[in-house]
Amino acid sequence: MLGRRGQHAPRLGTIAVALILVIVGVLGTFGHLLPAVAGFSGELIGVWAFIVATVVLLAGIFFEGI
């Protein structure tokens, strides 16, 4: 056996953070409602919010307690 590696359900806090990031992503990429911040366009901020939300959820799946 390879040990007790497996997948876990993300905690509610992890899901909430990912949901907020997805909302920011939608507002930035599809809604064009985010202003440019520090020279980065709202669309770019939205795309990065989607990427970070994906990483947060994957961390919650593969690492217990996140």
Residue 1 banded pLDDT, cuts 50, 70, 90:
very low
Burial class (CB in 10 A: 0-12, 13-18, 19+), 21: buried
pTM of structure: 0.85
Q: Where are the alpha helices (DSSP H) in the chain?
A: 12-29, 42-62
pLDDT at residue 4, as a whole number: 66
**pLDDT, tens digit, 9 for 90 and up, residues 5-25:** 788 899 999 999 999 999 999
What's the token pair of residue 36? 């440019």
Average pLDDT, the chain: 92
